[in-house]
Amino acid sequence: MAAKSNPTVRRRHLGAELRRLRIASGLKSKEVAERLLVSQPKISHLENGNRAISPRDVRDLCAIYGVTDREVIDSLMEMAKESSRRSWWHSYGDLSNSVYIGLEADAVSLHTYDPMVIPGLLQTPAYAEAVIGETIPLLTAEQTATRLKVRLRRQHRIYDPACPLRLWVVLDESALHRVVGSPDIMREQLEHLNALGAEPHITMQVLPYAVGAHPGLTGQFSILRFADSHASGVVYLERFTSDLCLEKPSDVQHYSAMYDHLQARALTPDGSRDILTDITKSYIDAAIEP
């Protein structure tokens, strides 16, 4: 049972293994909660990887599930110790998307689609600040600054010289025309996109207005995949108050098929660079008009 370097991913793998052991034992989560003298929601949180678990709880769960193999028990307890370690994003406090950041940090590839804005990993500092400030009501200046720092720190993942994130991006054309911040900020942002699109590990495609209705009309989604995961991947859906991570193979397969359709209907990378260049020029022309 290989340990993973990322506490978030390790916690989710540990939770999945504990769920497998519970199901194999024939016990319901309510029965396990009663034996441990805890609430049923706690068991669900542990199995979903939403909460750290102590090695002692792992030991007790193994006893309840009838696990007697010392090597398996020790391995699970070690995973519990590792899953409690703090990662860089924990220094920024309680982040609403901390689970996703942990998954993103450990992913080897990411397929993402956004119909409204440029994805966070590709945003310039000025664009990111404008998006955060204009889309999240009631943020204080300090909260805005924290979110901006975290977003820019996440971008290190695509520049990692040892193992850059393999990134596929499908952008709706509307995200290129929507003026976020100012025309100058948009011009800088689109120039940045064109530069990133030339990187060998980044594939960028624009979905033009002309395609009409398409599977992505339901909203933003991302698909993360991992090097040594037995699972088919994780689908991430970003929402305003609570995000959603889907791990069922059928869900991942469904969203993967959606993404295949989006890529097939989007412009080629070369065609996407052409439209980016044209829209960038329109911002430049607008800036020099009297």
The 221-225 sheet, strands edge to edge: 202-207, 166-172, 109-114, 221-225, 234-237, 244-246
Query: Does this model's pTM top 0.95?
Result: no
Nearest to 192 by CA among 285, 277, 122, 118: 122
Query: Is 54 found in the same domain as 146?
Result: no
C-beta neighbour count of 16 within 10 angstroms: 17
pLDDT digits (tens, 9 = 90+) for 12-66: 778 888 888 999 999 898 898 888 888 888 888 788 776 778 888 889 999 999 9
Find the CATH number of the domain harbouring 74.
1.10.260.40
Q: Which of 85, 107, 126 is the last residue of a domain?
A: 85
CATH number at residue 260: 3.30.870
Q: Are residues 93 and 229 in the same domain?
A: yes
Range of the domain at 125: 89-288
**What is the residue-averaged pLDDT of the chain?**
87
Say yes or no: 138 and 77 in one domain. Answer: no
Question: CA-CA distance, 98 to 104, in Å (whole number)?
Answer: 10
Q: Grade residue 4 by pLDDT with cuts at 50, 70 and 90.
A: very low
| Span 162-169, average pLDDT | 91
